[in-house]
Amino acid sequence: MPIRRRDFITSAALAGGAQLLGTSRAWAGANDRIRVAIVGVGGRGRDHMNATRQIPGVEIAAFCDPDQTRLNEKAAEYEKRTGQKRPALYPDLRRALEDKSIDAITVAACNHWHALATIWGCQAGKHVYVEKPLCHDMFSGAQMVAAARKYNRVVQGGTQRRSNGRIRKAMLALREGVIGDVYMSRCIHFQKRDSLGFKQTEDAPSTLNWDLWTGPAPMQPFHRNLHPYNWHWFWDYGNGELGNNGIHYIDVARWGVNKTLPSKIYSSGGRFGYKDQAQTPNTQLNSYEFDDGTKMVVEIRGRYTNGEGNQSSGIMFYGSKGYMAFDKNTESFQVFLEGRKEPEPDLGTLDDGIDKGDEDRSHFGNFFDAIRAGDSKKLTADVNETYLSTSFCLLGNISYRLGRELRFDPSTRRFIGDREADGMLREKYRAPYTIPEKV
3-state secondary structure of 168: helix
- Answer whether residue 439 is part of any domain: no
- Answer whether residue 117 is part of any domain: yes
234 pLDDT more than 80: yes
**245 plus 147 within the same structural domain:** no
Q: What percent of the chain has pLDDT over 70?
A: 92
Give 216's Cβ-side CA count (13 Å radius): 26
Do you find a cis peptide bond into 281, omega within 30 degrees of 0?
no
**256 plus 376 within the same structural domain:** no
Does this model's pTM top 0.85? yes
**376 plus 290 within the same structural domain:** no
Domain residues for the domain of 250 are: 166-351+388-422
Output the pLDDT for position 7: 43
6 pLDDT more than 70: no
3-state secondary structure of 129: strand
What average pLDDT does this structure show over 83-109?
A: 96
- Answer whether residue 45 is part of any domain: yes
Confidence of residue 155 (pLDDT cuts 50, 70, 90): very high
**191 plus 212 within the same structural domain:** yes
**363 plus 394 within the same structural domain:** no
Question: What average pLDDT does the chain have?
Answer: 92
**252 plus 366 within the same structural domain:** no
* 347 within 8 A of 203, measured Cβ to Cβ: no
* 166 within 8 A of 288, measured Cβ to Cβ: no
- Answer whether residue 231 is part of any domain: yes
Of 16-20, 42-46, 94-98, 374-378, least confident by mean pLDDT is 16-20
CA distances from 66 to 32, 40, 140, 209, 214 (A): 30, 8, 22, 5, 10
CA distances from 178 to 227, 287, 402 (A): 46, 25, 39
**270 plus 411 within the same structural domain:** yes
421 pLDDT more than 80: yes
What average pLDDT does this structure show over 115-144?
A: 98
3 pLDDT more than 60: no
Output the pLDDT for position 327: 85
Confidence of residue 32 (pLDDT cuts 50, 70, 90): confident
The more confident residue out of 36 and 26 is: 36
Confidence of residue 354 (pLDDT cuts 50, 70, 90): confident
State pLDDT tens for residues 250-297. 999 999 999 999 999 999 999 999 999 999 999 999 999 999 999 999
Output the pLDDT for position 218: 98
**220 plus 303 within the same structural domain:** yes
| CA–CA separation, 332 and 326 (whole Å) | 6
- Answer whether residue 430 is part of any domain: no
372 pLDDT more than 70: yes
| CA–CA separation, 221 and 239 (whole Å) | 20
> How many domains are there within the chain?
2
State pLDDT tens for residues 168-184. 999 999 999 999 999 99
- Answer whether residue 435 is part of any domain: no
Which one, of 250, 243, 245, 246, lies nearest residue 185 by Cα? 250
Output the pLDDT for position 24: 39
110 pLDDT more than 90: yes
| CA–CA separation, 123 and 117 (whole Å) | 10
**132 plus 62 within the same structural domain:** yes
Which one, of 362, 392, 393, lies nearest residue 379 by Cα? 362
| CA–CA separation, 210 and 227 (whole Å) | 10
**330 plus 225 within the same structural domain:** yes
Which one, of 395, 164, 437, lies nearest residue 261 by Cα? 395
Output the pLDDT for position 328: 80
CATH number of the domain residue 13 falls in: 3.40.50.720
**196 plus 332 within the same structural domain:** yes
| CA–CA separation, 121 and 103 (whole Å) | 10
Output the pLDDT for position 133: 98
- Answer whether residue 343 is part of any domain: yes
- Answer whether residue 82 is part of any domain: yes
CATH number of the domain residue 237 falls in: 3.30.360.10
How does 136-171 read in b/e, with b if 16+ C-beta sit within 10 Å? bbbbbbbbbbbbbebbbbbbbbbbbbbbbbbbbbbb
**204 plus 104 within the same structural domain:** no
